Amino acid sequence: MRSGGFPCRFAGCERTFRVEDQSSMAALAASSAARTQHEIEDHGYHHQSQPEPQRMPYVPRRTEVRRS
Res 3: pLDDT: 55
Residue ranges of domains in the chain: 6-43
Looking at the predicted structure, is the pLDDT value of residue 65 above 80? no
Write the pLDDT tens digit of every residue in 3-59: 578 899 999 999 999 998 989 999 999 999 999 999 999 999 998 888 888 887 777
Helices (H), the chain: 25-38
Q: What is the pLDDT of residue 49?
A: 83
Cα distances (angstroms) measured from residue 17 to each of 1, 43, 57? 14, 16, 38
How would you class 41 by CB atoms within 10 Å of its CB: exposed for 0-12, middle for 13-18, buried for 19 or more? exposed
